Amino acid sequence: MTLTKIFNGKILTPHRIIQGGCIIIENGIILEVSERNIEVTEAIEIDAHGKYIAPGFIDLHIHGGGGCDFMDGTEKAFLTIAETHARYGTTSMVPTTLTSEKEDLLKTLDLYEIANKNNKKGAQFLGMHLEGPYFAMSQRGAQDPRYIRDPDPAEYKEVIAHSSSIARWSAAPELNGAIEFARYLKSKGILAALAHTDAIYEEVLEGFENGYTLATHLYSGMSGVTRRNAFRYAGVIESAFIIDAMDVEIIADGIHLPAPLLKLIMKIKGANRIALITDAMRAAGMPEGDSVLGPLKTGLKVIVEDGVAKLPDRSSFAGSVATADRLVRNMIQMADVSLLDAVKMITLTPARIMNVQDKKGSLSAGKDADIVIFDDNINMEKTIVNGRVIHDILNAELKVF
């Protein structure tokens, strides 16, 4: 039996902050969260030095970091991304693809299986997120138009049969065959999310009723109010607000969504329906400068400056370079959100969306000991996955990098 005790910190629960308590971990599982400092013999002790002790951050939508992309075609890319983001508090993530040839997609799924077994130093993987290729061409954003198409039952059934590691799949609900696609995903226990879509309210509602329960990166790659023959129609953005039970994920890097929009989303949807995501590309955790969006060999050249990736002509954003700590910090500083709510949006809410709330998302007995310790400015001191310290800024031997 291996016991670990974390003490001398401020423990964040979904409802309150516990001062002076402690957390007892046994074999990677939280044994007890106490309001008092329990004396434990023969335990590894971790002193939080008065800092915050919170659940590990969960990133539902992430493409890369540390100079790598999940579609680079190597196991090393998967592991590098997981280790890079662990430095910033991410303890679980959902690796995300881009539109591509089917063969590249299948290869990425195979690499996921290999990397998942060998991922010992980074954030855990919660299954793959396939972003595309079933999108509206008019809302493709930085997705490669060569691969965008309507849902093909033969294709998506083959992909799903090929791998049991697909956790979510994003698509445009208004496309021909998109409703049947969502129903099939639901039958296989895969989360359907709407994304890169030009749908109007009626199409979004039908999609929601058939499984599209999450709006992928709200405001990005989706329709707002439009006019057709002089009549106004509510778009996907308004639909996500109207449908109370629809979850939304937001890129809270402070650039994709400015402060007024962060405040608006928070006011309408609330912390229980919002998941903070990085949607990070390979340049996350790297110096600014030239980079590549998508696969290293065939991706789109971009430039990273001002905390975001841009097209070379600077006409449009081309991806996020955010890390999880930045998301929480921005929600507090830019959107006037409380620390508890900001943390909830990157812990308990995404855990529920991905249906892993029985194991992750909050500090309570019986859950995985995925824990982060950070200061008042959300700077990470320690990242703990399954009771193992995988990043420790105070101990060079334990640092991932």
Bridge partner list, 69 = 64
Least Cα distance to 302 among 322, 320, 285, 277 occurs for 320
Whether 117 and 79 have beta carbons less than 8 Å apart is answered as no
Helix (H, G, I), strand (E, B) or coil at 310: strand
- Res 311: pLDDT: 87
For the stretch 145-177, pLDDT in tens is 888 999 999 999 999 999 999 999 999 999 999
- Count of domains forming the chain: 2
Q: pTM of the predicted model, to two decimals? A: 0.96
- Res 1: pLDDT: 64
Domain shared by 372 and 349, yes or no = no
- Res 127: pLDDT: 98
**Per the domain annotation, does 358 fall within a domain?**
no
Whether 231 and 197 have beta carbons less than 8 Å apart is answered as no
Domain shared by 384 and 270, yes or no = no
Phi and psi at residue 157, to the nearest 5°: -70, -35
Domain shared by 186 and 250, yes or no = yes
**Per the domain annotation, does 66 fall within a domain?**
yes
Examine the pLDDT at 399 and tell me if it is beyond 80.
no
- Res 400: pLDDT: 37
What is the b/e burial string over 346-366, where b = at least 16 CB atoms within 10 angstroms of the residue's CB?
Answer: bbbbbbbbbebbeebbbbeee
Looking at residues 353-380, what average pLDDT do you find? 98
Domain shared by 214 and 267, yes or no = yes
Looking at residues 99-105, what average pLDDT do you find? 90
Examine the pLDDT at 256 and tell me if it is beyond 60.
yes
Whether 246 and 240 have beta carbons less than 8 Å apart is answered as yes
User: Residue 130: in which H helix or E strand, if any?
Assistant: strand 128-131
Domain shared by 240 and 257, yes or no = yes
> What's the CA gap between 131 and 168, in Å, rounded?
9
Whether 374 and 361 have beta carbons less than 8 Å apart is answered as no
Residue positions counted in the chain: 401
Percent of the chain with pLDDT over 70: 98
